[in-house]
Amino acid sequence: MLLETKNLRKSFPIESKLLRQVIGRVIAVDNASLSLNKGQVLGLVGESGSGKTTLGKIVVGLIEPDSGEIFLQDKNIKNFTRKERAKKIQMVFQDPFASLNPRLSIGTILAEAIRTREQVIGNRQQVEKIKELLNLVGMPTNILSDYPHQFSGGQRQRIGIARALAMQPEIIIADEPVSSLDVSIQAQILNLLLDLKQKFSISYIFITHDLSIVTFLADYILVMYQGNIIEEGKPEEILTKPKDKYTEKLFNSLPKITCQIL
């Protein structure tokens, strides 16, 4: 097993601005157990607020869970340093406008990622690597001194993917990576992610709302509701015979944008 999570749980305080105190807690992720095999695409679906992003961020290490465990290749993730973990798991974020630091040039953003992986690297070699990454994601290689605001949503998402690739990860958590993009651009980015999967045998946890995407991409689907994984199975099983009423309702309400993926 490449990745396994056991009973992950995370709650956040609910603060009352008026009373200036914590008045309760929202359980964002409750008892979440999943496993990801090498080369697999796990589709994670669920309505907004069901805990998908929180679960993704726990796996990548951006949020510390209250309890539960994560295993990478059967080793507890606690035995990995931050850097070792980053080399294994990367995340591509939903909002390409928020996920790139606007003050840093594209060259600097990618150089930082490369230096996280390889400490000693000459300048020339670094530029070569940056260009290689830009090539991989279908971006021109003369944009090193440009800034994120000069690019469209789709281009920024490509740069975000390049940054993730700099770590040569085995797992990418893609959190609704195309939902903020024009429909015409969505298919291009999805194709890029598929290409990279084939090229580098990357495994994905693919968070999405779009039924056509999840049925096309995912080998296995997890359905989240109020922090819990309430149903799981192969796409054809879940779509044709949903066990849970919520899953049925969710699939009926999901936007059916049939984008041309291939």
Ligand X SMILES: Nc1ncnc2c1ncn2[C@@H]1O[C@H](COP(=O)(O)OP(=O)(O)O)[C@@H](O)[C@H]1O
If binding is defined by CB under 6 A, does position 247 make contact with ligand X? no
Q: What is the DSSP string of 108-134?
A: HHHHHHHHHH-SS--HHHHHHHHHHHH
Using CB under 6 A as the binding rule, the residues of this chain from 124 to 143 that contact ligand X are none
User: Distance (Å, rounded) from C-alpha 189 to C-alpha 4?
Assistant: 27
If binding is defined by CB under 6 A, does position 28 make contact with ligand X? yes
CA distances from 200 to 155, 171, 194 (A): 21, 10, 10
If binding is defined by CB under 6 A, does position 48 make contact with ligand X? yes
Q: Tell me how far, at minimum, the Cβ of 51 lies from Mg ion, in Å.
A: 8
Q: Using CB under 5 A, which of the segments 29-37, 52-60, 162-170, 254-262 binds Mg ion? A: 52-60
User: Distance (Å, rounded) from C-alpha 60 to C-alpha 126?
Assistant: 25
In eight-state DSSP terms, residue 250 is: H
If binding is defined by CB under 6 A, does position 46 make contact with ligand X? yes
User: Distance (Å, rounded) from C-alpha 117 to C-alpha 111?
Assistant: 10
User: Distance (Å, rounded) from C-alpha 39 to C-alpha 68?
Assistant: 25
Q: Which residue lies nearer to Mg ion by CB, 53 or 180?
A: 53
Using CB under 6 A, which of 4, 6, 9, 12 touches ligand X? 12
User: Distance (Å, rounded) from C-alpha 210 to C-alpha 214?
Assistant: 6
Q: For Mg ion, how many residues bind (rule: CB under 5 A)? A: 1
Using CB under 5 A, which of 3, 34, 41, 53 touches Mg ion? 53
Q: For ligand X, how many residues bind (rule: CB under 6 A)? A: 11
**Encoded tokens for 164:** 């993730």
Three-state DSSP at 52 gives helix
Q: Tell me how far, at minimum, the Cβ of 228 lies from ligand X, in Å.
A: 12
The mark string for 53-92 relative to ligand X (x by CB under 6 A, - otherwise) is xx--------------------------------------
Q: Which residue lies nearer to ligand X by CB, 54 or 247?
A: 54
Q: Return residues touching ligand X (CB under 6 A).
A: 12, 26, 28, 46, 48-54
